[in-house]
Amino acid sequence: MRTEGITGIASENDFTVARGKSGSCPIVPQSVLCMWSRDGDGSVLNNKGDDYNRTFAVDGRWGIGDETLITGWAAATDTPGLSGRDGAGGIDANYVSPEWNISAGYSQVGENFNPEVGFLQRRGFRKYTAGIRRSIRPNNLWGLHELRPHINYRGYWGFDGFQETGYLHVDNHWEFDTGMEIHTGMNFTQEGVREPFEIVNGVTVPVGEYEHEEGQFVFWTNQGAPLSINIRSNIGGFFGGDRVNVEPTLRYRTGEKFSTELSWSHSDIDLPVPGGDFEVDLARLRLSYSFTPRMSIQTLVQYNKRDDVVATNLRFAWLQSANAGLYLVYNEVDESGLGAPRRDAQQFIIKYSRILDLFN
């Protein structure tokens, strides 16, 4: 793939992706090797020899019996000017049976890991995860279909040993025969802030280590019914202060063709800093209509009340097989607010892909 350059802003680039898959390795029964490459023309850096990026990755899956699966991956990047700690990798083990679900994992991403052809949410960390869940189906108890007590943990540390994030979730899911479900949980959180940051305009969270507890409650009616309701709430500590978050969602569908979803997320936050008492509201409207099983149109409209911003996404899909086919996507972000003259950013994307069988 090739992209055009913008003088002084972005160079012209050639992108290459290569992928190979093997299912005959005796040690790892299924493995995949990938390579992503970007080659620029050097118009911005004024040096074509340094205008490139390479990413190499391999992953594998090893199933042991019917209930255990081990997955692992490793990756490295090659970027001019970056050396040392430019690798990443991880391993996960999962045991799943009708009654138990047990998992554990470890991963890390170096500070100089730089996959430019892709998306990297976080770098420079070590991550540990663990979880255990028990599924219990009682006989004639309060109309319950299943109980799912569980504990999950994830933690992030920097390479200097500083804990950046900790999240311990202790919960039980109460699923009833009617399809109604209730979740009653507690979360124990830890956030390590290395540098001050603005959580909203004019409100800064200072450097520090923040440990809190919060209660979590989830309720929903039968999601298989034409009309259903979902309510989620979190109440507890937040960066040295308090937070109350409530998110109701209303869903409606008619047959197999049309569905809609309307939700509103409200957060009332009180932090011990200047301007720290504020509210955040986000509304979402989703609409979906399927002309046929392979042809559909979907839209998502979001409104951020605090910043008075409206974002719209409209997507038309005409599929052939395995998600290959024609996609038309329109995105718009209107920062002028509801009812004001339009002042927005617009984007239109056309994508077509087709799977070819070259050997049959």
At 52-65, the pLDDT tens digits run 778 888 889 999 99
Range of the domain at 343: 293-299+309-360
Residue 112: partners with Cβ closer than 8 Å, 6 or more residues away? 77, 79, 82, 83, 84, 85, 86
Q: How confident is the model at residue 355 (pLDDT cuts 50, 70, 90)?
A: confident
Residue burial 35-61, b: 16+ Cβ < 10 Å; e: rest: ebbbbbebbbeeeeeebbbbbbbbbbb
C-alpha 112/C-alpha 59 separation (Å) is 20
3-state secondary structure of 66: coil
CA dist 45 and 51 (Å) reads: 7
CB 282 within 8 A of CB 302: yes
Partners of 188 in the beta sheet?
A: 168, 213
Alpha-carbon distance of 131 to 136, in angstroms, equals 17
- H helices of 16-62, in order, are none
Percent of the chain with pLDDT over 70: 82
Model pLDDT for residues 110-125, shown as the tens digit of each residue: 998 888 777 788 889 9
Strands 181-193 vs 208-220: parallel, antiparallel or unpaired? antiparallel
Which one, of 350, 256, 264, 253, lies nearest residue 304 by Cα?
264
Write down the pLDDT at residue 255: 86
Confidence at residue 238, expressed as pLDDT on a 0 to 100 scale: 96
Give the number of domains in the chain.
1
d(Cα 321, Cα 325) in Å, to the nearest integer? 7
Residue 333 lies in a domain: yes
Closest CA to 283 of 256, 310, 316: 310
Determine, yes or no, domain membership for 245.
no
User: H or E element: which one contains 209?
Assistant: strand 208-220
pLDDT at 8: 55
Convert the pLDDT of each residue in 322-337 to its tens digit.
778 999 999 998 876 5
Considering 86-90, 257-261, 350-354, the range whose residues carry the highest mean pLDDT is 257-261
How do residues 143-196 score in pLDDT, each as one tens digit?
999 999 999 999 999 999 999 999 999 999 999 999 999 999 999 999 999 999
CA neighbor of 124 nearest in space, from 111, 115, 114? 111
Average pLDDT, the chain: 87
Please report whether residue 271 resides in a domain: no
Q: Is residue 78 predicted with pLDDT exceeding 90?
A: no
Is 315 within the bounds of a domain?
yes
Confidence of residue 345 (pLDDT cuts 50, 70, 90): confident
Task: Report pLDDT for 267.
Answer: 97
79 bridge partner residues: 82
Nearest to 144 by CA among 169, 124, 173: 173
Confidence label for 93 from pLDDT (cuts 50, 70 and 90): very high
pLDDT value of position 344? 62
The answer to whether position 166 is within a domain reads no
Do the domain assignments include residue 327?
A: yes
> Do the domain assignments include residue 204?
no
Q: Which residue has the tokens 């933690």?
A: 155
In this prediction the pTM is: 0.80
What per-residue confidence (pLDDT) applies to 103?
98
List of long-range contacts for 141-150, beta carbons under 8 Å, 24+ apart: 142/176, 143/176, 143/177, 143/178, 144/174, 144/175, 144/176, 144/177, 145/175, 145/176, 145/177, 146/173, 146/175, 147/172, 147/173, 147/174, 147/175, 148/172, 148/173, 148/175, 150/101
- Asked if residue 132 has pLDDT above 90, the reply is yes
**What is the predicted pLDDT for the residue at 44?**
45
Residue 320 is assigned to a structural domain of this protein: yes
Are β-strands 13-22 and 309-321 bridged in parallel, bridged antiparallel, or unpaired?
unpaired
Mean pLDDT, to the nearest integer, of 339-344? 56
